[in-house]
Structure formats: C-alpha cells, structure tokens
Amino acid sequence: MPDVEFSGSDGNALAPAGGTAECERSASTHTAPVFEPRVLAEQARARLAPPVPDIGTAPAPGKPRFVNLPSWLWIDAADWEPVSVSASVSTGAVTVVAAPHRVVWATGDGGEVVCPGPGTPFSVSAHRRNGASDCSYTYTSVPPTGPGVPVDLVASWEWTVSWSASDGQSGELADLVTASSVPVSVAELHSVVTDSR
C-alpha cells in the first residue's frame, strides 16, 4: 500500500497519521494500482482543522444582557475563509476544502439564531450606521436559571466540505462543525415611577 503525503492550506507538509493509506488497489500483480480518490479524500478530511469560533458579544460576556433589548453576536471575521488539506500518492492527488457556511447560536434559554456570516462587531459607529446587527438575539424573558445566573451561549460553526482530484473527479463529504461557548447572564430592567408633584 502506498505512503500518503499531506499538506495544509499554508503549503506546509503535515506529519503522517501512521501506517499507510488504502487509496490505491491492485486487481492483480500484473496490473497498475487503481487510484481511489474518495478514500484518499476521506483521509484528508480527517486532517482538516478549521478554527473554533472566537465569540464576541455586546453587551460583553461579563456583563448582563437585558430582556427585550437586542444582543449583538459575532465571531472573528478574520477566520471566515476556507481551509484545505491536500493528499497525494503515486497515482494521483486530492484536495479537500472546508468552507465556512453558517453559525448556529444556542442562546441558553432554548432559543436559537442562525447567522449566514460572522456577524458584525459592535461599535458606536456601526450601531449608528446600521441601527441593528446582522446577527443578534433578543431575550424575551429571563432564562429558567433565574435573573443574573449565567447560561451557556454556544456558537456552532458549520463548514461544508468538498474534494477534487487530479483525475478530474470531485464530490462532497460530510460537514464539519467547530464550537465554543461563553457564559452570559440575563436580567430585567424595571422602571421606577416617581411622584413629580
């Protein structure tokens, strides 16, 4: 069985996983090895290492968010780009690419937000310019844990995975998901009525 060489998006070689790859086969001792690109692609997929979400929120994670006021959600936009791994054997090569698809936010109160992009970091100028975020969530009540008690805000980043081979074949592989979380708390704002007389 042939040795496999792997390289990442930056072009650097990746260490072998150990053993050899079953991506070529020989029907008999008298025939040339047959290239099996999907098998090689699956092995390359196992070496993909897309980044985990670097979560940002406004209000900041250490500060409470308030019922009926939107919270901005985002991940680091610098990471929103494809990552790839290439693998080669004596009879051919494949490249496997994981492309950012969307971020699914589980908000800790049973809610969920699906954002097709990384979201926009909060700034006064962005708020004045846009008025609202392209990725946000509004808590309509305090979570069951109670006011001020932290819940996990979880970002699950979904990546679509495809492959292409040196012989012209291509296809899709199972998606990848990377995830991270931060604790956030939710509180209520109470109005105070005073006698102005």
Block residue for tokens 């020989």: 26
pLDDT tens-digit readout, 27-48: 445 566 789 999 999 999 999 9
Vertex 48 angle, CA 101 and 26, to 5° = 120
Number of H helices, E strands in the chain: 2, 14
Write down the pLDDT at residue 194.
Answer: 55
More confident residue, 190 or 35: 35
Confirm if 108 and 153 have CB atoms less than 8 A apart. yes
Question: Does pTM top 0.85 for this prediction?
Answer: no
Write down the pLDDT at residue 15.
Answer: 54
- Radius of gyration of the chain from its Cα atoms, rounded to whole angstroms: 24
More confident residue, 17 or 58: 58
Q: Can you say whether the dihedral through the CA atoms of 144, 55, 97, 18 is positive or negative?
A: negative
Write down the pLDDT at residue 138.
Answer: 95
Single out the residue of 63, 81, 55, 67 nearest to residue 135, CA to CA: 55
- The residue-averaged pLDDT of 52-77 equals 95
Nearest-angstrom CA–CA distance, 89 and 110: 48
